[in-house]
Structure 1
């Protein structure tokens, strides 16, 4: 079997995880020969001879025949990946933002130059969801896919809800453990999960949807009152990514959800991810695994390296003409009594409460209107998961006095 020579871009958390996983698996027909980094003077656990600064040192090296892209600059990453594919060098990437924003272009380049690009490490860490959808579900009519797609936020919510830590303490712990970046915006505000959902939709439904068209609300505005509300009802709060297929359209969004003990997501804690796939034939299946950390994601990248060495590539699901649309969802919205929300935006209100220090409303609202509502300061939304197609919560009961 041919032994691939890898040109690696980036040697951060995932890059080091790949190197460690590859070192422990000598049977994989590949070796890292050059690593491109931004700072050549930084202390690293490998010989300085392996590191280069100029991307051309790798891209123009005729001996290098496999490119692994693990940098955090989506624009530069796309330039590197595009150049590599045009040179007919197979590519592996874990850059979910780059892949999500350019997936249609990447697929076109792959087809034009008959050269594969794999990106399992871009979605849900150690869970092989892309290969599962591409291979096992290739003949399935996927009706819904959802789950915990971001290990950082799940870790933070576990510490806040289960261990009564402050949001600041939980975030700092996530950063210390390598589960969250120094700038955690992409994680905590739901962008990371949105990029991943965009990629998953392509492989589940055969539809390309740009992440800008997917609604996202993160965990950064969850209040103590929201947590108390959940605990009093035996619920947990999880940041979920979700896409549901209807007759000729689909919905997609990322937002905090209430989750009951009956849900398989209830017990998924810390940096673990979970993906629930509902199909017309296979019904419900759940995949659970670590979604953050250098070794779980490094292993996902290594699995792509091994796949390339074995001539694997993604088969494309038949392209669908479905389009994304806004939908009416039942939500819990908390707000400051000094700035109550516009209740007229709801199509139906089942309960509202305005106390001295906090208020909330539970009702049905179109997701476009919900986006408008959340521009109000001190406002947060948690989806109740009360719709018929949901499995988390069949019916919520509330004990607060109606305002």
Structure 2
């Protein structure tokens, strides 16, 4: 769709936290946005569930509607911006907009991760932009970077801290020695964690985001179902303390790697060296580390959520879509999943491992455990043994680089040893 007008008109779906941020930025920065986009951009209509609700923001009543048709069927509206969240009915609304020839900007990671192929097909069929910078890492421009700035590279790795809630919690546990449940309650009180924190603490939010990043980085469609996911609910103050003793920090990482064997995509708590750049990313901040064959190592850091950081990314996408419409080149940056690289099962991935166990405090225990590991092709790099209670001791082992399958096979046999009371935790080690 080409435009020959003086104003690009926007239909906004949702006026919650991010929607209000988008409204404010478009209004407060209107002059600069017009100069940079090459055309005036303004909101024409806003769809909300209840047009009479008080929102703490001054918006003309005439601008509000509760009927999606007032936006997707309005020929004056050029760009539809979706900041409602969720899948139903959001997916249907976005597809209606695309099929009616309107470019779409969305901040919806769930929708993009689960229905990206369908959405991109609709955008390409109707020669529209589908832009989603705000769906991953809030205000950090990582999607545009992967699609444009690093497009000349063969990307080898993308990994990072892409969930602010869990990063806040692990930061508190590291600084204060607190236990998981205590920090979760505090995060909920401060509004960093939802009443139902499952999506964050179990790693599902990060899994959706790393699926999106991996798809772009490796030009191969990766869905959330392809991601191995493990959350932080088993991380204890003891694990944090051992990490420090060994020279590591624990972070929940989204990890995507590619080599000749294929793509591996996973989310799990990870030991990373204290000197690694990601180790100093604390509180609710996000950071994404990218390794390309030409550019080498790069890292992108900033606020991964919040009203204005996320709205900043949304408005930047609106400006890109507006420029494309003015130049009559919408859809120029279409779906980049043109390849079909194989996806490796988690059992084939390799890393080092931290294993914390509770064992009988008697001679020969370490030798028995080491023998099982050795029989499965797993070698040990370091061992820490500390007295626990009475006749038991805590044994902490760190392995050399090994295949996931070998490690899990070894742990299965170790659990059956009479001298092993419990395997307290197993955490992967990177870097």
- Normalising by the residue count of structure 2, what TM-score does the alignment of the two structures yield? 0.80
The residue that corresponds to 2:47 in the other structure is 36
Residue among 358, 377, 384 paired with 2:429: 384
- Check whether the contact 1:145–1:276 (CA below 8 A) recurs between aligned residues: yes
Tell me if 1:323 matches 2:342. Answer: yes
Give unmatched runs, 5+ long, in structure 2. Answer: 34-39, 325-329, 361-368, 416-421
1:257–1:155 distance in 2 versus 1, CA, 3 Å: same
Tell me if 1:110 matches 2:123. Answer: yes
The residue that corresponds to 2:9 in the other structure is 5
- Check whether the contact 2:124–2:334 (CA below 8 A) recurs between aligned residues: no
- Check whether the contact 1:13–1:178 (CA below 8 A) recurs between aligned residues: no
1:180-329 → structure 2 map (5 Å cutoff): 180-311=193-324, 313-317=332-336, 319-326=338-345, 327-329=349-351
1:113–1:161 distance in 2 versus 1, CA, 3 Å: same
Tell me if 1:21 matches 2:25. Answer: yes
CA RMSD, Structure 1 to Structure 2 (Å)? 3.0
Give unmatched runs, 5+ long, in structure 1. Answer: 386-391, 393-403
Alignment length, in residue pairs?
Answer: 382
Give SS of 1:325's match: coil
How far is the alpha carbon of 1:300 from its aligned partner? 0.8
How far is the alpha carbon of 1:365 from its aligned partner? 4.5
Higher share in helix? 2
- Check whether the contact 1:349–1:361 (CA below 8 A) recurs between aligned residues: no
Give SS of 1:332's match: strand
Give CA-to-partner distance per residue, 1:280-303, whole Å, 9 cap, x none: 111111111111211111111111
- Check whether the contact 1:93–1:121 (CA below 8 A) recurs between aligned residues: yes
The residue that corresponds to 2:114 in the other structure is 101
Give SS of 1:132's match: helix
Tell me if 1:80 matches 2:110. Answer: no
Tell me if 1:153 matches 2:172. Answer: no
Give SS of 2:240's match: helix
How far is the alpha carbon of 1:199 from its aligned partner? 0.9
Return the alpha-carbon distance in structure 2 between the equivalents of residues 19 and 337 of structure 1.
59
Return the alpha-carbon distance in structure 1 between the equivalents of residues 278 and 188 of structure 2.
23
Return the alpha-carbon distance in structure 1 between the equivalents of residues 282 and 92 of structure 2.
37
- Check whether the contact 2:154–2:294 (CA below 8 A) recurs between aligned residues: yes
1:320–1:379 distance in 2 versus 1, CA, 3 Å: farther
